[in-house]
Amino acid sequence: MLSSRVCEKNKDEIMAARPASTDSPADSSAAPSAAPRGDLAGRLIAWYERHRRVLPWRAPAGERPDPYRVWLSEIMLQQTTVKTVGPYFRAFVRRWPTVHDLAAAELDQVLHAWQGLGYYARARNLHRCARVICREHGGRLPDGEAALGKLPGIGPYTAAAIAAIAFDRPATVVDANVARVMARLGGVEEPLPRARPRIEALAAALTPSVRPGDYAQALMDLGSIVCTPRAPKCPICPWAGACVARAMGTAESLPRTARKRQRPTRRGVAFWAVRADGQVLLRRRAEAGLLGGMMEIPSTEWRAKAWTAKEATRQAPLRARWRALPGVVRHGFTHFHLEITVMAGRAAEVDGIDGVWCRIDRLGERALPTLMKKIVAHALARGP
């Protein structure tokens, strides 16, 4: 078993697991000196030059990154895996190769191309941001974190990632991969999200002023390839000698996370309205909120309490003889589960209805999110 002296030596090398304290000058968690910080960054960049991932949005070694591609990829990668994003990214840049092309597109076109990526507010903000960039910035992304953070859909993390990767600014980038690496490197036992400030302080202290863009991408790759959530490959890690968690034998258990609350269940009713020629009614959801701006099968609000048929039909989009179809459509959102009952009916009236009628064989042309596709499939399988 390694002695506590070894662990203290490792802590002294990284010395950034916590901010320096003015109350305790002898604290071993004081901010790191330039030498060890540069040494760790240099080791990581050397590793990156040999092992960097080939990604469709990443510029080849020695080439300048395209800020548009960096921005687009960072928005797509929010809460979405690299494997999932790849085909969508390629399709987007084929269709809209520049920010000007994206700004000129219709929102419905962008939402349709986004189908399957989820978190559709990202697509709306992406489109709005493209227009702001063209209108207010001459079609060029700003190169500083502060200016980037003022654009639609760009928060602190995304602003830092774009500034570092696209413009080589010394910005501190902390995504899930980076947070995991830093928690292990610093031996941070406190659970997330409470540990977030300590992890960000460590990351900031280690961010170099030389090649910060390569460093940021190297750190992401390290978390993806080596410092993985399970079975981290510590023996081949370029930071193995400085890692507190490795020395303590706790790498796989970090970062710790607070126990998640059980997601509640909400319930709603969707109305599969069919008119005489077989077309079905679609409606655009409000811009604000979940699935904002997307097309939907008209539905009630979503709530915890189950709906009675009488309550639900009061919110129906038109008069019809509604009948509940057997079964329930289930869908998961980040913060809750959703159960949808589908009611089908023949439209008794078609004039003055809020929505659009669509042939069933053309539903694929509409910007329908995954939930609505599930409802369509359910209605077609069980409906009239």
Degrees to nearest 5, angle at CA 259 with 254 and 260: 115
Domain with CATH 1.10.340.30 in the chain: 4-253
Annotated catalytic, 8? no
* pLDDT at residue 384 in the model: 63
Instruction: Determine the pLDDT at residue 63.
Output: 92
> What does the pLDDT read at residue 3?
39
Contacts 24+ apart (CB under 8 A), 3-11: 6/247, 7/187, 7/244, 7/247, 7/248, 10/187, 10/241, 10/242, 10/243, 10/244, 10/247, 11/186, 11/187, 11/244
In what helix (H) or strand (E) does residue 17 lie, and over which residues does it extend? none
Token look-up 């607070």 returns 258
Do you find a cis peptide bond into 56, omega within 30 degrees of 0?
no
* CATH code for the part of the protein at 265-382: 3.90.79.10
pLDDT of residue 383: 66
- Say if residues 379 and 272 touch (Cβ distance below 8 Å): yes
Contact 213, 165 (CB under 8 A): yes
Query: Given this model, what pLDDT does residue 217 score?
Result: 96
C-alpha to C-alpha distance for 111 and 121, rounded to whole angstroms: 9
Chunk the chain into consecutive blocks of 10 residues (it has 384) and report each block's average pLDDT, rounded to whole numbers.
43 42 32 50 96 95 95 94 95 97 95 87 94 97 96 96 97 94 95 93 94 96 96 96 94 89 93 92 85 88 94 92 94 92 87 86 86 94 76
Predicted pLDDT of residue 196? 94
Q: φ, ψ for residue 144 (rounded to 5)?
A: -115, 150
Q: How far is residue 39 from each of residues 46, 196, 210, 238, 239, measured CA to CA in Å?
A: 11, 24, 12, 11, 10
How many C-beta neighbours within 10 Å does residue 95 have? Answer: 13
In the chain, which residues fall in CATH 3.90.79.10? Answer: 265-382
What pLDDT sits at residue 30?
34
CA 283-284-290 angle, to 5 degrees, is 120
Q: Which CATH class is domain 4-253?
A: mainly alpha
Q: What is the pLDDT of residue 157?
A: 95
**Which residue of the set 74, 252, 287, 301 is catalytic?**
74
Q: CA-to-CA distance for 366 and 358, rounded, in angstroms? A: 9
Name residue 104's amino acid.
Answer: A
Give the pLDDT confidence score for residue 22 in this predicted structure: 31
- Identify the pLDDT of residue 261: 81
Which two structure tokens, joined as six digits, stand for 32?
A: 């790191």
Secondary structure class of 59 (helix, strand, coil): coil
The first and second tokens of residue 33, run together, are 């000196």
Dihedral sign (CA 296, 301, 306, 307): negative
Helix, strand and coil in the chain, % to nearest 5: 45, 10, 45
How many Å apart are CA 331 and CA 369, to the nearest integer? Answer: 11
Indicate the SS3 state at residue 210. coil
